[in-house]
Amino acid sequence: MALELVLTPHGLLTLRETREALALEPEQGLRLEKAFARGSGHGLLWLGASEVGTALPPVLSYWRELGVRYVTALCALPGIGEGEAKPPVPIPGGGEFAQLRRPSHRRSARNT
């Protein structure tokens, strides 16, 4: 199963089957499809928390890194487990987003 994440011009992140990406193990592909079926936030959270250390194609690896940074920032919030509602995660400052941009990672953007 070959899957890739596509960021549409409208800012929607979707998981799609493709012939252009490297194939995933069937179980891994099913896990990702299930997570992204709940929404892009659920999918990114899954990548950042549950797919750490797994082999992924470059595009999925890029988005996993974003998910890992979110999970890390979320876990660093004081009192995160004490309330019913999740406090807002601060927006990264400085060049933190620029660090995610690496020449070896190709992000896919297509019109829908």
Amino acid 111: pLDDT? 40
Note if the pTM is more than 0.85: no
Structure-token pair, residue 32: 């990702």
Amino acid 97: pLDDT? 66
Segment 52-104, tens digit of pLDDT: 999 999 889 999 999 999 999 888 888 777 877 777 887 777 777 667 665 44
Structure-token pair, residue 44: 């990114």
Helices (H), the chain: 26-37, 40-50, 58-75, 96-100
Residues 6 or more apart whose Cβ sits within 8 Å of residue 29: 1, 3
Segment 20-46, tens digit of pLDDT: 878 898 899 999 999 999 999 999 999
